[in-house]
Amino acid sequence: MSGERQIIEIVGVAGSGKSTLTRALRSDYGCGVADSLHTRVPAHWPYVAHSLPRVLPIVAASVRDRPLLSWNELKFVVYVAEWDRFLRAEYGHQTGVLVLDQGPMFALACLLWGGKPITRHAYFGTWVRRVIEHWSRELDAIVLLDAPDDILLVRINAREQGHDAKDVPAHEGLELIGRHREAYGRVLELIESAESPRMLRYDTATMSSAEIAGELAELLGLSRAQELTETPRALNLIEGSATTRQDA
């Protein structure tokens, strides 16, 4: 899925600034932001059905090694299995940079940080490695955001969005953040062993979202959205075809 279109996934623990960076890339540089698969949307049910041959063995293993995967965890399995087909169908005609906020690497990390017995099953490990090998070819870059734990906790508690680490004793919040970071580490270690895609790491305590977006734009060859809209007008002015207020 490379070529004229580039797909990047933004990952990081809660409070690291994923959504803020995604908004900056969309508003300042005109990046597309991919929607997710939704099991409640009838138009997406064919993707769910297509995923069943790959999902059912994991469900069976989960039955043997209880507790079972939750419905939310099973949805992550479906997303990882079918997201590439969904992206091709919905965004295959688009060019430029397509951003995944909470994409397949996020979904895999969510499965791992739940700590269910199935995640230690040999079949599950083989499945994860196969999925990562596939997505290492589909993604052009992974952007990993992080910040010191105390800053993450302050951000989580200050936002309206709910989270398991919000409004709990500090040691519980820190333990949860640690588990999430460890899960990301396991996923990204496998990605890095595949030697692709590019891994770009940023500390959002020392760089603003605008600064990170600017650096990514330079790496990805992006222009600011304002420049993109002003270019046709500049060409019209050069060619003498711009409509002035007096001409109207």
CATH (one of 3.20.20.70, 3.40.50.800, 3.40.50.460, 3.40.50.300) for 5-239: 3.40.50.300
Question: What whole-number distance in Å separates Cα of residue 26 and Cα of residue 239?
Answer: 30
Assigned token pair, 234:
């500049």
How much is the pTM? 0.84
To which H or E segment does residue 11 belong? strand 5-11
pLDDT tens track for 77-109: 999 999 999 999 999 888 899 999 889 999 999
pLDDT tens track for 5-46: 899 999 999 999 999 999 999 999 999 999 988 888 999 999
pLDDT band, very low/low/confident/very high, at 183 (cuts 50, 70, 90)? very high
Measured from the Cβ of residue 246, the count of other Cβ atoms closer than 10 Å reads: 5
Question: What whole-number distance in Å separates Cα of residue 145 and Cα of residue 131?
Answer: 22
Measured from the Cβ of residue 172, the count of other Cβ atoms closer than 10 Å reads: 11
